[in-house]
Structures are given as C-alpha cells and as structure tokens.
C-alpha cells in the first residue's frame, strides 16, 4: 500500500495531461476512480465491486437445499426438501464528498512553488500533485469506512458507526453471519484456537461456502502478524521448510486476506463474491475539480472538490462467520 500513495495514476494506468482548464473537472475525474479503487480490500480483489450505480442495487441470490427425492411417475415438489427460492439484498449508496482548500501563499516560498507564476494559473505538476495526494488519502479513509462504517459513510461490513461493539456489529452488513465469540483480544497464544473456532463454525453452519471460489479468512494486518509470529515458533511449521516465508499464508489450505481497515481482534470467513462494494463511478454523479477561487473571490486559495457515492452489502447474508469478542 505504501507505494500506492504517490503512484495512483500509474497503478490505474491513467494517461492524464493536466491543462489550465482542469478546474472545470473534466480531466480530474480519474482521480475519483483512483481514490475509490485504491483501498487494499478493493484493489486486491478481496471483494466484488459494482460500479455505475445510481441509488441502489438489488443483489439477487437463488437458493436451494438438497433437491433429490425418490423417483415417481408424477411431478411433485411435495417431498422435496425445498424449492428454488429467490432472495434479495439491497445495497444502498451513501453520497460522499471531499472539500479541501489550500492557500497559494503557503506554496510559493517552498520548492514546489519555484516555477509557479504568482499572477497566472496553477502549473500542471502542482495540480497533479494535489489531486494524487488527496486521492491517496481518500483511499486510506475508504479502506476503514467499508469495514468499520461511520456517521458519514453509513454501514460497513463490521459496524455502522466506526466502533467495535455489539450495537455496531448488529447493524453491520455482516450482521447475519454466524457469530463466534472470541475470548478477549487475539494473541499469539490463542490465534490458532480462534482460527479453528471460525473454521469449525463455517463447517458446521455453512459448509457449502467452503467450496465457493476464493473462500478464505479476512483479518487486519495486526492479526495476520500474530498468526505469522505463532507459526514462526511452531516446530512443525519450521520442519516443513516454510519458516521465514510469511507472505501469502493460508489456514487449512484456504487463503488469508489482509485488510488494513478491519478492526483489531476480529476474523471473518467468507468469499470475495459475497462482500459487495457498490459505487456510482462511471455515472454523471461523480465529480472532481480543482477550483482556483483566487480568480473569483479575492482570496489566495485553491479548492479541491470530489463528489461520489459508495455503499456495501453482503450477497448471501448467512454465507459467513464473524468472530469478535463483542458478541454476547
């Protein structure tokens, strides 16, 4: 993630030429896309992203239990355990914005302002620098928001208010996942026990999802490091020659997805297609502009404006396990 901060345009292959008219917003739009797509969870494909939404999206799921029954001459659904059932999950977008302002007077004395014309337009290099910096910071914020939620963002996968407590978790997008109550904070002493509890719950309650493409375990960087530290001390792990190789670790043969925005002391088990992030990218509702307000209001300020919308939802509400110590 560290290298993304100053190379967003390269990472997403934007060939952008900034002109004096950039403040009109036409060429600044790619930076909104870069900001929204840059969070680790999204950029690495750990979730399913749906763009081009306006307000809401209905996520349909076709469910069926074991359909096999004893043969007979007549068509009958009476003895079948369950018919096909179509369920819906609604993903609702939240309108979000970025409003930032910087004074040109603070830029001119610095090395960045060496080639700036005090009475002219902003140089292209400066506009590019400002937009890239803001987009990177927006990406960091959204990585937290899609998991933790907030007053501005709304519902995240793990909470709806930015706090890890039962109230927030019960209102999260993953509120219907099967619950595993962890015994306090995760440590190296109990990380294997905690992962085993999550895995056992998945097998017992929703074993079908283990065969879904990409099924794995989601955790933040701290929890992943605790798992790596524990493996480093395990004799069996060292004997198989894996000691020192702590990238791309798995558990029970399933991948581990490291998502920096997740809360500490939590583990989620599901698959990427089940965690859905919706945006209004590629619609007329997204906006990004650099506004040279110094040209209009007598100030010495430049404003950066971004407008977009985003939201999260699960596709199959019971295809997952949510482990935390806040469950009661």
Report the pLDDT value the prediction gives residue 290, as an integer from 0 to 100: 86
Quote the CA–CA distance of 46 and 8 in Å, as a whole number.
19
Report the alpha-carbon angle 124-127-130, nearest 5: 150
Q: Give the model confidence (pLDDT) of 113-159 as tens digits.
A: 666 776 666 777 777 888 888 888 999 999 999 999 999 999 999 99
Lowest mean pLDDT among 20-24, 63-67, 99-103, 212-216: 20-24
CA-to-CA dists, residue 152 to 97, 155, 156, 311, angstroms: 9, 9, 11, 11
Q: DSSP letter at 20?
A: T
Q: Give the model confidence (pLDDT) of 173-202 as tens digits.
A: 999 999 999 999 999 999 999 999 999 999
In the block, tokens 């605790």 appear at 226
Report the pLDDT value the prediction gives residue 202, as an integer from 0 to 100: 98
Q: Give the model confidence (pLDDT) of 232-277 as tens digits.
A: 887 666 555 555 566 788 999 999 999 999 999 999 999 999 999 9
Q: Give the model confidence (pLDDT) of 253-263 as tens digits.
A: 999 999 999 99
Q: Token digits for 268? A: 């989620």
The pLDDT > 70 percentage for the chain reads: 77
Report the pLDDT value the prediction gives residue 255, as an integer from 0 to 100: 96
| Strand 321-324 versus strand 287-291 pairing type | unpaired
In the block, tokens 């409003």 appear at 99
- 24 or 291: which leads in pLDDT: 291
- Asked if 322 and 178 touch (Cβ cutoff 8 Å), the reply is yes
Quote the CA–CA distance of 54 and 58 in Å, as a whole number.
12
Q: In which band, very low, low, confident or very high, does the pLDDT at 208 lie, cut at 50, 70 and 90? A: very high
CA-to-CA dists, residue 120 to 104, 123, 268, 290, 295, angstroms: 11, 9, 53, 15, 9
Quote the CA–CA distance of 167 and 185 in Å, as a whole number.
18
Name the nearest CA neighbour of 89 among 314, 312, 283, 284.
Answer: 314
Q: In which band, very low, low, confident or very high, does the pLDDT at 293 lie, cut at 50, 70 and 90? A: confident
Report the pLDDT value the prediction gives residue 18, as an integer from 0 to 100: 34
Q: What is the mean pLDDT of residues 209-218?
A: 97
Would you say how long the chain is, in residues?
A: 328
Quote the CA–CA distance of 232 and 321 in Å, as a whole number.
26
pLDDT at 94 over 80: yes
Q: DSSP letter at 154?
A: B
Report the pLDDT value the prediction gives residue 231, as an integer from 0 to 100: 87
Q: In which band, very low, low, confident or very high, does the pLDDT at 26 lie, cut at 50, 70 and 90? A: very low
Angle between helices 29-37 and 124-148 (to 10 degrees): 40
pLDDT at 308 over 90: yes
pLDDT at 325 over 60: yes
Domains of the chain: 177-275+317-324 (3.30.2320)
Report the chain's mean pLDDT, rounded to a whole number: 82
Q: Sort residue 253 into left (φ over 0), alpha (ψ -120 to 50) or beta.
A: left
pLDDT at 8 over 70: no
Strand partners, 80: none
Quote the CA–CA distance of 36 and 320 in Å, as a whole number.
25
- 194 or 75: which leads in pLDDT: 194
Quote the CA–CA distance of 225 and 93 in Å, as a whole number.
33
Write the CB contacts of 7 (distance below 8 Å, at least 6 apart in sequence). Answer: none
Quote the CA–CA distance of 242 and 249 in Å, as a whole number.
10
């Amino acid at each position: 993630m560290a290298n993304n901060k100053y190379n967003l345009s390269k990472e997403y292959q934007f060939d952008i030429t900034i002109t004096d008219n950039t403040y009109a917003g036409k060429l600044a739009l790619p930076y909104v896309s870069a900001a929204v797509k840059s969070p680790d969870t999204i950029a690495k494909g750990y979730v399913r992203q749906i763009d081009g939404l306006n307000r809401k999206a209905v996520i349909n799921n076709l469910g069926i239990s074991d359909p096999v029954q004893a043969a007979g001459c007549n068509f009958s659904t009476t003895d079948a355990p369950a018919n096909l059932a179509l369920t819906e999950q609604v993903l609702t977008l939240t309108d979000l914005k970025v409003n930032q302002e910087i004074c040109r007077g603070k830029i001119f004395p610095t090395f960045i302002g060496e080639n700036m014309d005090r009475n002219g337009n902003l140089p292209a290099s400066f506009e590019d620098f400002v937009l890239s910096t803001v987009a990177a910071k927006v990406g960091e914020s959204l990585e937290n928001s899609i998991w933790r939620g907030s007053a501005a963002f709304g519902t995240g996968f793990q909470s709806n208010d930015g706090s890890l407590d039962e109230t927030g978790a019960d209102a999260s997008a993953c509120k219907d996942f099967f619950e595993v109550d962890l015994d306090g904070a995760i440590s190296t002493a109990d990380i294997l026990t905690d992962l085993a509890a999550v895995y056992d719950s998945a097998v017992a309650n929703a074993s079908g999802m283990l065969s879904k493409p990409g099924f794995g375990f989601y955790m933040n960087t701290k929890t992943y490091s605790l798992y790596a530290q524990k493996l480093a001390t395990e004799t069996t792990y060292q004997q198989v020659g894996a000691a020192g190789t702590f990238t791309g670790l798995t558990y029970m043969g399933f991948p581990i997805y490291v998502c920096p925005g997740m809360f500490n002391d939590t583990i989620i088990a599901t698959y990427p297609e089940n965690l859905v992030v919706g945006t209004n990218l590629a619609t007329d509702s997204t906006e990004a502009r650099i506004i040279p307000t110094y040209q209009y209001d007598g100030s010495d300020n430049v404003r950066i404006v971004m407008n977009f919308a985003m939201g999260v939802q699960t596709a199959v509400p019971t295809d997952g396990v949510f482990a935390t110590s806040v469950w009661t």
